[in-house]
Every structure is written in C-alpha cells, then in structure tokens.
Amino acid sequence: MAEPVYRRVVIKLSGEYLAGSHSFGIDQPTVERIADELIAARNLGGEIAVVVGGGNMIRGVDVSSQGVPRPTGDTMGMLVTVMNCLALEAAIERKGTGARTLSAFVMPQICELFTRGATHKYLAEGRIVLLGGGTGNPFFTTDTTAVLRAAEIGAQAVLKATNVDGVYSADPKKDPSAKRFDRLTHSQAIEGDYKVMDATAFALAREASLPIIVFSIAEPGSIGAILRGTGHGTIVAG
C-alpha cells in the first residue's frame, strides 16, 4: 500500500456534526460512522489526532449572550469537547482500535493531560488521539486549537471536516451562484472573510506554514481520500 501523502494530521470535527440530524446532544450512529472513518484513515498508515468542537451542546458565545460571563461560557464549552472526545474514544475502542483522550485541563480521574510527549507516544503506538478541552483558555475557538495542536505535534496538515466540499465565496446552500475554490492562500482566506474557519486559525496556520484542507465529512471515505491525495476539497496554503 502506498504511503499517505499526509502521514500525521489533525482533523478538526465540529461538535454540531456529532448531533447528527438532531439539534442537540450526541447521535450514536453518527459517532459510530465517524469512528469507522477515523479507523480506516489510521489503517492507511496515517497518524490521526482529532480536535472536536462542543457546539452540539454548548457554545460559549451563545451562553454568554444569556448573561453567563464569556470566560465561564467558554469553559463550559471546552468541557463539552472532552465529553465528545470520550464518546468517540469509546466507539473507536469498541471496534478494536486503540484511542486515547488527552485534555487541556487537568482531570486525572477522566483522562490524561495533553502534552506533546504523550501525543507523540500514542500516535507512534498507532492509537487515534482525541484532543479535548480546546486550548484550555477562553476566547479561542476549536479551529484555532486544531491549528495550534498541529503545529505543536509536527502535523503535516489540518483537515477541516465540514458539511460542504470546500471553501465557497458564499454559503452554497443559500446562494446557488457561490464560487468554490480549489486553492487559496492563508491571506486570501483571511481577506475574503470566509466563514469556514476563524481568522485567528488561518493566521496561525500561515505563521506555522501549515496547510488546511477543507472537505466534506459527509462523503464516505473522505478522510482516507484526503490522506491519499485524491480527496475533493479546498487546500488553503502558502
């Protein structure tokens, strides 16, 4: 089997996607499907780390609009990301593949603290590493977390899993004339204010010279296709 084009990657998965067709919570069939996709990608020879959002339960910015201080709301959201990681970890391990949740918060009764050393160790062992707790700080999104962790662990790319097959000039679900981009620079993505990731994440990726590949997680086998270099998505690099 040919070596993957991208051997070590960080996949950014939205919390909202884990809710499936529901507006809230964790949809177990969706979790099982994502687990299968991650295992298949790992079996290609890739080293897979995953950053999961928390929007299926709590978004700090939404909670803060209801009177909760923004740092508190963001902390609540970061705790949800750990819950999402644990759900994925359990699904992956039920299928016979090793997984390990690492958190930006110290919570020894629940999971291990994130360190670069621990991440390198578990990836080298063939485990899928699930990174919860965001950056551990309020005001930073899990998009920024994904780029930060990728830079820290020497990943070759960040894979941004979305509901659409790349970056568009506008929401293609609302604007049929929206233009899809095959490739953008980080600066173009920031200047165009494309909503697929926040500007802080793009800026950090530019500084770290990390490509971001935006693709549709709804397509079966899409993660593996990206790793092989045959996937359909937008590459943000340079």
Please give the mean pLDDT across all residues of the chain: 95
In a domain, 3, yes or no: no
Q: Report percent pLDDT > 90 for the chain.
A: 90
Mean pLDDT, residues 20-45: 96
Is 35 strand, coil or helix? helix
pLDDT digits (tens, 9 = 90+) for 198-229: 999 999 999 999 999 999 999 999 999 999 99
Residue 60: pLDDT band (50, 70, 90) is confident
Mean pLDDT, residues 182-201: 95
3-state helix, strand, coil in the chain (%, to 5): 40, 20, 40
Mean pLDDT, residues 159-170: 95
Phi and psi dihedrals of 206, rounded to 5?
A: -65, -45
Mean pLDDT, residues 49-55: 97
At 1 the pLDDT is 53
Q: 77: buried, middle or exposed (CB in 10 Å: 19+, 13-18, 0-12)?
A: buried
Give Cα separations from 225 to 9, 54, 228 (angstroms).
Answer: 13, 26, 5
Mean pLDDT, residues 98-123: 98
Whether 177 has a pLDDT exceeding 90, the answer reads yes
Mean pLDDT, residues 49-56: 96
Please give the tally of structural domains in the chain: 1
In a domain, 120, yes or no: yes
In a domain, 202, yes or no: yes
In a domain, 83, yes or no: yes
Whether 2 has a pLDDT exceeding 70, the answer reads no
β-pairing verdict for 8-13 and 157-162 = parallel
Which residue from 7, 3, 29 is spatially nearest to 18, judged by alpha carbons? Answer: 29
In a domain, 79, yes or no: yes
In a domain, 175, yes or no: yes
Whether 95 has a pLDDT exceeding 80, the answer reads yes
d(CA 110, CA 100): 11
In a domain, 231, yes or no: yes
Q: Could you tell me the CATH number of the domain that includes residue 124?
A: 3.40.1160.10
Contacts of residue 43, defined as CB under 8 A and 6 or more positions apart, other chains included, come to none
Mean pLDDT, residues 155-181: 94
- The whole model's pTM is what? 0.95
Mean pLDDT, residues 144-152: 98
β-pairing verdict for 47-52 and 8-13 = parallel
β-pairing verdict for 233-236 and 212-216 = antiparallel
At 58 the pLDDT is 92
Which domain range does residue 124 map to?
A: 8-236
Identify which has the larger pLDDT, 80 or 173: 80
Identify which has the larger pLDDT, 64 or 107: 107
- CB of 41 closer than 8 Å to CB of 3: no
For 108, the token pair is 């020894």
d(CA 230, CA 228): 6
At 140 the pLDDT is 96
Is 47 strand, coil or helix? strand
Identify which has the larger pLDDT, 4 or 34: 34
According to DSSP, residue 204 is labeled: H
Identify which has the larger pLDDT, 4 or 84: 84
In a domain, 2, yes or no: no
